[in-house]
Amino acid sequence: MARTGDGIRGWTWGGAAGLVILGAGLAGCSAQSPAILAPVSPKGRAEAELFWFILAITAFVFVVVEALLLYAVIRFRARDPRAIPPQIHGNRALEVSWTTVTALGLAVIFAMTWRTMAATSTPPAGAIPVKVIGHQWWWEFQYPTLGITTANELVIPVGRPIRLTVTAADVIHSFWVPQLGGKMDAIPGRENLLWLQADVEGIYYGQCAELCGVSHANMRLRVRVVSDSEFQRWVEAQRAPAVQPGTPLAQQGYQVFMSKACVGCHTIDGTPAQGKVGPNLTHVGSRTTIAAGLLENTPENLARWLDNPPAIKPGSLMPRLGLTPEEIQALVAYLSSLK
Ligand code: CUA
């Protein structure tokens, strides 16, 4: 049997290693990892500050408890293995003090959490409303006041608050863009409120944060934060009806789209395609990614996706349609032209 000292040492090292791994995970190891501790929004900063505050308190508790434990293990270790140690039943002073100190610590954490929640829960006046709908396995974004419906890439102007109404079409999902702060469950039949605001232009990665089926991990999203003028241009472009196919190949792709199952699930404004099950494709060519952020939006990737969606996103509700290579090339030409 291992001696108690070995167990304690192993536990201490395990705890330290766990903290390091946790820290690395939270800081974000790659450019695409959502990073909680690199906030770019007022709300994200408030949450990160709260996190550091609570981490400091709990780290302090960890060190004190470990130190007392090691002291007790070494100072009171059995010197004669055959002797029975003195039998002790309770110590009122110790019990009262560690209960009081723990309760006080928790009260401080509670108060700080309350303060942060109160300061960040209500969206500022004048926020742009966006409806967020989680689907297996992609995100729908509707801008009701702007008349725009898009998917997987939320485009917002820098420095402006956005008021998100979060819901779901099928099962429970969770909308989460760590650098912009906050996480909100997307529940069918319910509308949850979340707001965010980005102070710096750029792309911020998000991820569905509630296990929602086989491709939960593939349910990514991006928030593209742009200048006010770029946002206005984007809005104008998104509000326009879909462009007409401009080349013979794109024209052929249009015919394929309208004659196949595509129309049952997808909408392309200004065409007979009015399906509401899958992402709106009216301006799919203007998005930087396809398949809920899994692939860069390039002709090669689009062709791969059209050929066999479940091979890229397991469980994908878009089935393998058995398209011929010619049909795929035509569809790629058409869909890519939908800027
Ligand atoms: Cu949607 Cu996990």
Ligand 1 centroid to Cα of residue 174, in Å, is 6
Q: What is the pLDDT of residue 21?
A: 54
183 lines ligand 1 (CB under 6 A): no
Ligand 1 centroid to Cα of residue 136, in Å, is 7
Q: What is the pLDDT of residue 292?
A: 84
Q: What is the CATH number of domain 128-226?
A: 2.60.40.420
Rounded to an integer, what distance in angstroms lies between the CA atom of residue 281 and that of residue 151?
A: 8
The domain limits of the chain are: 1-19+33-74+97-121, 128-226, 248-336
- Of 227, 306, 131, which is closest to residue 297 (Cα–Cα)? 306
Q: Which residues pair with 184 in a beta bridge?
A: 175
Ligand 1 centroid to Cα of residue 175, in Å, is 8
Query: DSSP assignment, residue 269?
Result: T
Query: Cα–Cα–Cα angle for 149, 151, 157, nearest 5°?
Result: 75
134 lines ligand 1 (CB under 6 A): yes
What residue has token string 């994908």?
316
Q: What is the pLDDT of residues 233-286, one digit of tens each?
A: 999 999 988 889 989 999 999 999 999 889 999 999 889 999 988 999 999 999
Q: Give pLDDT tens digits along the chain (339 positions).
A: 444 445 445 555 555 555 555 555 554 444 556 678 888 998 889 989 999 999 999 999 999 999 999 999 999 888 888 888 788 888 999 999 999 999 999 999 999 999 999 988 888 888 999 999 999 999 999 999 999 999 999 999 999 999 999 999 999 999 999 999 889 999 999 999 999 999 999 999 999 999 999 999 999 999 999 999 999 999 999 998 888 998 999 999 999 999 988 999 999 988 999 998 899 999 999 998 988 888 999 999 999 999 999 999 999 999 999 999 999 999 999 999 998
Query: E strand or H helix at 222, and its extent?
Result: strand 220-226
What lies within 8 Å, CB to CB, of 62 at 6+ separation is: 15
Q: Do domains 128-226 and 248-336 have the same CATH topology?
A: yes
What residue has token string 């928790």?
106
210 lines ligand 1 (CB under 6 A): yes
Q: Which two tokens stand for residue 320?
A: 């393998």
What fold is seen in the domain 248-336? Immunoglobulin-like (2.60.40)
Q: Which two tokens stand for residue 175?
A: 């909308």
Query: E strand or H helix at 26, and its extent?
Result: helix 4-27
Instruction: Give the number of C-alpha atoms closer than 13 A to the C-alpha of residue 61, restricted to the C-beta side.
Output: 14
224 lines ligand 1 (CB under 6 A): no
Q: What is the pLDDT of residues 51-94, one digit of tens each?
A: 999 999 999 999 999 999 999 999 988 888 888 878 888 899 99
From the alpha carbon of 216, which atom of ligand 1 is closest?
Answer: 2
Query: E strand or H helix at 142, and its extent?
Result: strand 138-143
How would you classify the pairing of strands 128-135 and 162-168? parallel
Q: What is the pLDDT of residue 120?
A: 87
219 lines ligand 1 (CB under 6 A): yes
Q: Cβ-count burial of 70 within 10 angstroms (0-12 exposed, 13-18 middle, 19+ buried)? A: middle
